[in-house]
Amino acid sequence: MEVVIVQDAQAGGELIAEAMAALLRRKPGALLGVATGSTPLPIYEALAAKVRAGAVDASRARICQLDEYVGLPADHPESYRSVVLRQVVEPLGLTPDSFMGPDGTAEDVQAACEAYDRALPAAGGVDLQLLGIGTDGHIGFNEPCSSLASRTRIKTLTEQTRVDNARFFDGDIEQVPHHVITQGIGTILEARHLVLLATGEGKADAVAQTVEGPVSALVPASALQLHPHATVVVDEAAASKLKLADYFRHTYANKPAWQGL
């Protein structure tokens, strides 16, 4: 696992957007797995700016979703489908055809989960999967004690995650669905490159456990330790509880520029 400590969220967004741009230059039809939440917004803004400036052609990029609320209408402004279309697909100048996600409105949710789990490898597999992290260490919506081998499935949100996400629902926890579909941890680990961005002091404990703690289902993001190409980008605040922070800074400062993320 590579840990990169950046000054702030903007710097993290720029660094990851450049890695995504470099991937698209090598592989124009790359399948990019995107995450929701507030953390990845600087990445999407920086990538869209590169597209507008002509620094990268994203016209053949494909986008896939990590997770989805169950039961929200697809056109609800806070369904993750709507969020990803608004924050990623449209700003990159792509059409909804280039986008895939699990169907949170399906009558047979289990079948929808299995279909999405099969659709990802059928599309050639995810080239780069962006991840945020919940305050409890969740990735996607894999709450603590999710199996590290889990596949795309339905999960029940913890009270903490519903409280955290209520800000997207007028601050009203009652509007936050209880159930979600999420790529499983085993599914996420199949992506070729995992890139997790965490910013702010509120993520410092989860980051320290992810990077320096034991691999444990209690901290789902710690599964990144099992992946051969995982990059964790953190700002100074989110890095504040890392014991090896100086080592990570030293390693990155001395990394050859050609290596990229």
Ligand X SMILES: N[C@@H]1[C@@H](O)[C@H](O)[C@@H](COP(=O)(O)O)O[C@@H]1O
Exactly one of 79, 129, 161, 222 binds ligand X (CB under 6 A); that residue is 161
Residue among 134, 132, 146 nearest 233 (CA): 132
Shortest distance, position 259 Cβ to ligand X, whole Å? 26
Catalytic annotation present for 68: no
For position 67 contacting ligand X by CB under 6 A, the verdict is yes
Q: How many CB atoms are located within 10 Å of the residue 70 CB?
A: 22
Distance CA 144, CA 250 (A): 32
Catalytic annotation present for 136: yes
Exactly one of 26, 29, 38, 123 binds ligand X (CB under 6 A); that residue is 38
- Annotated active-site residue in 18, 68, 127, 143: 143
Chain-centre distance for alpha carbon 33: 7
For position 156 contacting ligand X by CB under 6 A, the verdict is no
Listed ranges 84-92, 133-141, 144-152, 204-212: which one lies at the site for ligand X (CB under 6 A): 133-141
For position 37 contacting ligand X by CB under 6 A, the verdict is yes
Answer for the pair 98, 30: CB distance below 8 angstroms, yes or no. no
For position 39 contacting ligand X by CB under 6 A, the verdict is yes
Answer for the pair 61, 29: CB distance below 8 angstroms, yes or no. yes
The number of C-alpha atoms within 13 Å of 175 and in the hemisphere containing its C-beta is: 13
For position 36 contacting ligand X by CB under 6 A, the verdict is yes
Answer for the pair 128, 23: CB distance below 8 angstroms, yes or no. yes
For position 133 contacting ligand X by CB under 6 A, the verdict is yes
Catalytic annotation present for 250: no
Name which of residues 134 to 153 contact ligand X (CB under 6 A).
134, 140-141
For position 91 contacting ligand X by CB under 6 A, the verdict is no
Distance CA 124, CA 147 (A): 24
Give buried/exposed letters for 128-145 (b at 16+ CB in 10 A, else e). bbbbbbbbbbbbbbbbbe
Distance CA 259, CA 6 (A): 17
- Annotated active-site residue in 18, 68, 136, 164: 136
For position 183 contacting ligand X by CB under 6 A, the verdict is no
- Annotated active-site residue in 67, 68, 103, 235: 67
Catalytic annotation present for 212: no
For position 35 contacting ligand X by CB under 6 A, the verdict is yes
Tell me which residues touch ligand X (CB under 6 A). 35-39, 66-67, 132-134, 140-141, 161, 165
- Catalytic residues, which ones? 67, 136, 138, 143
